[in-house]
Structure 1
């Protein structure tokens, strides 16, 4: 969102002549802001400017009918602060909290209302926290932005909108709002900007986490420049630091984490239990499970009470690191009501109470060792007993599932069912995890029986549970049972299948080479009003590809391009290329690749691999030379993210060996070795013996013909040398450079 633009001809009163601006917070306290208090003079070059956000109440602040100063406004030179005409009716609706009617009236206004109405309407839309309200708020902001009237909105309403967008999952939009305010020289309230940092770091995405840290640093720089009591409401609190620490933990950056941790004291933000829970996650990401127990001890010594989430974080750390033994011991100790958990973990993880020069050579290890506050004294006792809850049990079950221990998963569910505490009994997530473990193990009958037991316990299955069963049946090639389950979902559980359900069945049809059934499910899905996804289209294309129907795959691709709800991606293009290449239709495949490039998608390893296989099918070795040149250029040019795999290079080498292009074959096998791929010498030796053993044995060729073949013979002898076959270069040094320069542009032999 761009920063608000100044009017065309602003007035520039001197700071001394401008009276202090004032507004009231939700608590009724009057706050003052004079333009001269800001160190960013450019922000006050005209009358239309943001107010710094001062507070964020649980609901939009009430507004008296006699005063307009109880809600922060943007002074506006073109309309003033007094609404006229329809603005009176609009403001009346807003005061009565009739947001729906107010927005409808705003939509019918032939003019843009004044600052009071706009800011209040935006604040109330943001407070609703619904997708419709958020869309309307974005539309309002977009309209003002297009008309260069963003200055009519106050910072409080924009802060509320940013917080609402962040909570709704629209973190990039929320980020644009906060950055716009920062560019204008004003600091949002901590609840507004920290909610954006928290949203960006919530999913663990590295790019978003890095963006969260950049936003946090921007706010700190703004605070350092302002250095005024008026910025107190923007200063980071413990929750804001925790959001930034979570971002650093997602990136596994212990140094940044330690710097943020040290800054907390400077801002008088006291670390809480959540702070140390995040530190546990960082140690797990750094694979330092020996330090986890010391973090728990630091929590206790800091006179904080660990929460059940702390215990879950510890169990999750051990499970994630594959130490199921320690995780089991911990959960069992919790079931027994033991409080000597720290002593138990010390003995199980064989920790060291001093910095080991051998194991802590990295700076990261030293930083983590300091953060964990490793101590050698007697481990403390837990302040209370912690019984494992459903989430802890489920986490351990997922560890069993990932290790292929389906029987232990079932035993865990049985133990949970015997628990008296409802917080420890299996819920939908626990049952779905157990069903997933059984489905992965191929025990579909037991998985279906567990579904019935789940119903008997009063836990209703959801769509995810049924999709897990559908996937299990398809993996076991039990398509009839999968179809029957799909048909029974609405009547048995009141659950309608979704696009994921149908995608699973379409993919299952591929496993049995039944493209007709795949098409039938695709059409049934559309007939039920379920829009296909990109996966739906590409999976159906795959069904026609593996059954040898490239024209039908092409038709599906064309329909995908006509569907406005989806966009063809690289996967779809690659599937179409593969469909043509399976039948050696190289020209059709090359046209798809050109179209792919026009759409902004660069060919990847899968694209080139399909082309190489298609060239082999079509027996067009000349195309192999062209393809190898492009692949080699991508490798030598430092193609971002491009690294040839074994399938691609082996297919190209196979074509070149069969076509007696030994120079190119040597280049390809050299590329394989550079990328850590072992060439299949046995296969290439067999091809050479079968096809080229008598290649240069004729004694009746003319001298001219022998001269023309000399360079090819040198390459053939070099390839035989690489294979280990008898040749004239044993005992001498072979160099790839041609004698006298006999190679063409592509180095054809």
Structure 2
């Protein structure tokens, strides 16, 4: 055995000597030791006087011990630097041989704890090497010190080498400290190693303990689970831990620490994996492992929230009757919470029963208890129960409501159309400011943004007016979503009204306020307004990329070449780096001009400047190819985008479908749409779990927000991902349903080639998928039925538009929901008090649907019906547009009413002098507009007039010449009619 120790000591000597050579700046000079050896040889060959030698020896011993004692005293006073000076003094005097092994060990232990990690490592390695040089054996405790310091200094490979050295020493026996040091060191270096890797290494170390037949102590199990929790609870991490438990833990026959099982249950519960937590719970029950209150509360909560309330109640009974654990307020809050979130409807009776049981147990409800109950009943509008609970909370329990409870009260009152009470709640929030939360920021701004995101500006403005009635002062953040709503639609007039209202209320605008206004003017094609806002903003703040991009976009839309390049140069001179949106706008400009090489060059420039092209840039490139008739290059652009790791969005796919159809590649377009349908169908098969994963990648719905918390279920319930989803459900679409404009081009392609049945089938797929039925798709379906000769269904669809209902039933299609129609500018117009103006026109029926209905009636020869329809709509102040007037004129011509057609054409198009009285033009995104924006007779209308008026040579005329000739003929015809009427008179 001693021979083994001797051999091991030799290996230690070699190893620590190697470590020592890594610290060349140490205070110990190797020449000192060589000088000491030389002096020993001299003493042997030339021995001095024995008495003098003994006196000197005694003096050196006393000096060394004095310096040693001084060093220990300095270390105890937390002065390691002066203590090290004492030690180097001993070394320089060649007195190290007078220090015993215990004294070396004491110095190592003191320097280990009293110095910083970096200094301590240098000191301890020097001491260990000096110990070895004087034939002192380095014990296991010293190795532990070296291990710890190496780990804390990030020298993990060296630490692992010392660990292997200790682990291979037969004298180590049942000692587990080196395992704990390893676990602690990995925990300390988690940011360097990586959280996932630390968790995996910790499990490997734990396996090593078990493989050596050791029963890990509670400290080792605690460190292990801390590192596992730090690894997070993503799907990948959860499966790794579960695989480790099944393969390495559950197969052991050794009696493991009970806390390990409890912590694993807590881990899987916090990760939202109730099924794994239940399996470990069953193992604990089978093996008689004690389950404590915290673990059982967590298990009850997550099992209940996962949908199995019955199983949760069984676990509660086991906790009370089998484990003899007395439930606390956290347990009862968990029980109330699972009944409040029971699907598909909350269990009101069960929640009330738990609330009564809580009082029977002599416990006092806290703010979490009342908050959950009040929120549950508030969502149902049960104001009686809410009032009772609120009174019990404030009067009997003396608990102050938090913002969450106040927001629930507001929701309850609004649900009962009790706005006065809702305003009172706002006043209470304003006067008390519970927990220091400003109600303006905490409630109003968030709610206003959510209404705007849901395309519900009316509710947003109603909430804004509630703020004013409650005496609350909005800030710039409150107005930002309201401004953005109109800016996105290019409605500069209403955006300016909101801005003026801000000014009248003395609300200080932010830089973001100006950039939103700038965007509104740019999208409204009002370049003078955009430039004015830019100058105003520039006087107060340094322009940012967003401001320059908005201005560039306005110039690009209006084809202002010089201003585009001047603005771009100014942007670079201001040292603002062009981003992907800057390049995207420039690509959009050249794409409009069909300059393929310029668009490609800009994409190459982005790569050269280190700007990663986003999906918009790739989409513009693809669109450019298709516009220029380069269908194959357009398809390859999509492949290049995917290869670059950029995920196409639905705008990209819509342009791809339209481009493929323009190249007569119907099969390829069908493939794109079918893949989109399959993706959504696959997501839905996963149920709610997959929906939540969409919003929170790598997180389970019941996963705790704080993954590494060790105090959950001790004082309160944790917040889960599902709670966040519930609170933000209105603004967090989890399954991305394709937009209608993805399907519309294919429906029209089927119609044009006479395959109306395929068009109807595609519409059915859209509807079943939950795609919003837009105005464009609805009109396309009307055209499908018109081309198939089913004019009765066209009339039915028109009547459906006139009398909006939830849905209508078409025999061949089934239920058809009412289409989603963008409200007109007049319906959304604001007055200076930010209230909606009453509409001056009839219901905002689509002018395109009217055109299709008129065509359908004309095909049936029902000209009288068309005239009667026009008279009725005129009485209702219907907002006819250029499209509908042209359709009406063509119908009159086809019905033989040429005189009336000429009269209408003259009144609506030819005789208009004042631009403000011009007929409204409806413009769809993607329309190729003519050079002039004047309203005019369409080519189809001109052809119909040319045939009826017998315009000579009309067949060979171009569109411009035809229009001029037809206009002259109409005027001449009207002049003849007037002269004839005068002659008759």
**2:141 corresponds to 1:141:** no
Task: Specify whether residues 629 and 544 from structure 1 end up closer, same or farther in structure 2 by C-alpha distance, changes over 3 A only.
Answer: closer
Match of 1:567 in 2: 817
Residue 472 of structure 1 and its aligned partner are, at CA, apart by: 0.9
**2:892 corresponds to 1:645:** no
SS state at 1:386 partner: coil
Matched pairs, number? 491
1:728 and 1:237 map into 2 onto residues whose CA distance is 67
Task: Indicate conservation of the 8 Å contact 2:424/2:470, yes or no.
Answer: no
Match of 2:440 in 1: 190
Deviations 1:603-647 (A, max 9, x none): 87666656665565555xxx5335423422432x24332465122
Match of 1:655 in 2: 895
Task: Specify whether residues 117 and 312 from structure 1 end up closer, same or farther in structure 2 by C-alpha distance, changes over 3 A only.
Answer: farther
Match of 1:318 in 2: 555
**2:575 corresponds to 1:388:** no
1:221 and 1:555 map into 2 onto residues whose CA distance is 45
Task: Indicate conservation of the 8 Å contact 1:608/1:648, yes or no.
Answer: no
Q: 2:342 aligned to 93, 104, 107, which one?
A: 104
1:447 and 1:177 map into 2 onto residues whose CA distance is 57
**2:750 corresponds to 1:513:** no
What are the residue-to-residue correspondences of 1:132-211 with 2, within 5 Å?
140-145=377-382, 149=386, 156-157=403-404, 160=407, 181-182=422-423, 186=427, 189-191=439-441, 192-200=443-451, 208=457
Task: Indicate conservation of the 8 Å contact 2:808/2:815, yes or no.
Answer: no
Q: 1:239 aligned to 450, 466, 477, which one?
A: 477
Residue 255 of structure 1 and its aligned partner are, at CA, apart by: 6.1
Task: Specify whether residues 729 and 404 from structure 1 end up closer, same or farther in structure 2 by C-alpha distance, changes over 3 A only.
Answer: same
1:255 and 1:532 map into 2 onto residues whose CA distance is 34
Deviations 1:171-216 (A, max 9, x none): xx9998988622767365101112333445568x7x82x7645643
Q: 1:219 aligned to 458, 467, 472, which one?
A: 467
1:675 and 1:615 map into 2 onto residues whose CA distance is 22
Match of 2:614 in 1: 427
Deviations 1:555-589 (A, max 9, x none): 99986579887415599xxxxxxxxxxxxxxxxxx
**2:651 corresponds to 1:411:** no
Match of 2:90 in 1: none
Larger Rg computed on CA atoms: 2
Residue 332 of structure 1 and its aligned partner are, at CA, apart by: 4.6
Task: Specify whether residues 450 and 211 from structure 1 end up closer, same or farther in structure 2 by C-alpha distance, changes over 3 A only.
Answer: same
SS state at 1:144 partner: coil
1:492 and 1:109 map into 2 onto residues whose CA distance is 37
Deviations 1:206-255 (A, max 9, x none): x82x76456435423432xxxxxxxxxx4323422444555676552476
Match of 1:676 in 2: 909
**2:863 corresponds to 1:624:** yes
What are the residue-to-residue correspondences of 1:488-527 with 2, within 5 Å?
504-515=745-756, 517-518=758-759
Deviations 1:134-153 (A, max 9, x none): xx96x743423475856856
Residue 426 of structure 1 and its aligned partner are, at CA, apart by: 0.4
Gaps of 5+ in 1: 1-85, 126-135, 166-172, 224-233, 340-384, 572-599, 658-664, 688-718, 735-749
Residue 503 of structure 1 and its aligned partner are, at CA, apart by: 5.0
Match of 1:449 in 2: 636
What are the residue-to-residue correspondences of 1:448-487 with 2, within 5 Å?
448-462=635-649, 464-483=651-670
Match of 1:58 in 2: none
Task: Indicate conservation of the 8 Å contact 2:378/2:409, yes or no.
Answer: no
2:424 and 2:646 map into 1 onto residues whose CA distance is 51
Match of 1:338 in 2: 573
Task: Specify whether residues 282 and 489 from structure 1 end up closer, same or farther in structure 2 by C-alpha distance, changes over 3 A only.
Answer: closer
Larger helix percent: 2
1:297 and 1:603 map into 2 onto residues whose CA distance is 40
Task: Specify whether residues 318 and 459 from structure 1 end up closer, same or farther in structure 2 by C-alpha distance, changes over 3 A only.
Answer: same
What are the residue-to-residue correspondences of 1:9-158 with 2, within 5 Å?
92=330, 99-100=337-338, 102-104=340-342, 107-110=346-349, 120=368, 140-145=377-382, 149=386, 156-157=403-404
Task: Indicate conservation of the 8 Å contact 1:533/1:566, yes or no.
Answer: no
Task: Indicate conservation of the 8 Å contact 1:299/1:306, yes or no.
Answer: yes
Task: Indicate conservation of the 8 Å contact 1:477/1:512, yes or no.
Answer: no
1:151 and 1:639 map into 2 onto residues whose CA distance is 52
What are the residue-to-residue correspondences of 1:712-723 with 2, within 5 Å?
none
What are the residue-to-residue correspondences of 1:718-737 with 2, within 5 Å?
729=980, 732=983, 734=985
Match of 1:436 in 2: 623
Match of 1:398 in 2: 588
Task: Indicate conservation of the 8 Å contact 1:94/1:120, yes or no.
Answer: no
Q: Normalized against structure 1, the TM-score is what?
A: 0.52
Task: Specify whether residues 675 and 514 from structure 1 end up closer, same or farther in structure 2 by C-alpha distance, changes over 3 A only.
Answer: same
Task: Indicate conservation of the 8 Å contact 2:744/2:780, yes or no.
Answer: yes
Deviations 1:140-167 (A, max 9, x none): 43423475856856682366569999xx
SS state at 1:448 partner: helix
1:109 and 1:185 map into 2 onto residues whose CA distance is 28
2:657 and 2:468 map into 1 onto residues whose CA distance is 51
Task: Indicate conservation of the 8 Å contact 1:216/1:244, yes or no.
Answer: no
SS state at 2:380 partner: helix
Task: Indicate conservation of the 8 Å contact 2:584/2:616, yes or no.
Answer: yes
1:570 and 1:297 map into 2 onto residues whose CA distance is 39
Match of 2:564 in 1: 327
Task: Indicate conservation of the 8 Å contact 1:273/1:310, yes or no.
Answer: no
2:547 and 2:845 map into 1 onto residues whose CA distance is 46
1:243 and 1:570 map into 2 onto residues whose CA distance is 22
Task: Specify whether residues 603 and 222 from structure 1 end up closer, same or farther in structure 2 by C-alpha distance, changes over 3 A only.
Answer: closer
2:580 and 2:595 map into 1 onto residues whose CA distance is 19
Residue 722 of structure 1 and its aligned partner are, at CA, apart by: 5.0
Residue 309 of structure 1 and its aligned partner are, at CA, apart by: 2.6
Deviates more, 1:276-285 or 1:473-482: 276-285
1:214 and 1:507 map into 2 onto residues whose CA distance is 40
1:604 and 1:479 map into 2 onto residues whose CA distance is 29
2:408 and 2:558 map into 1 onto residues whose CA distance is 40
Task: Indicate conservation of the 8 Å contact 1:463/1:495, yes or no.
Answer: no
Residue 654 of structure 1 and its aligned partner are, at CA, apart by: 3.6
Deviations 1:333-384 (A, max 9, x none): 54xx423xxxxxxxxxxxxxxxxxxxxxxxxxxxxxxxxxxxxxxxxxxxxx
Task: Indicate conservation of the 8 Å contact 1:162/1:174, yes or no.
Answer: no
Task: Indicate conservation of the 8 Å contact 2:377/2:386, yes or no.
Answer: no
RMSD: 5.5
Task: Specify whether residues 725 and 673 from structure 1 end up closer, same or farther in structure 2 by C-alpha distance, changes over 3 A only.
Answer: closer
Gaps of 5+ in 2: 1-316, 318-325, 357-363, 391-400, 430-438, 684-736, 798-806, 822-841, 911-936, 952-969
2:647 and 2:978 map into 1 onto residues whose CA distance is 74
Deviations 1:247-296 (A, max 9, x none): 676552476355444356x4xx5443213323423553675645656655
Task: Indicate conservation of the 8 Å contact 2:782/2:852, yes or no.
Answer: no
Residue 450 of structure 1 and its aligned partner are, at CA, apart by: 1.6
SS state at 1:675 partner: helix
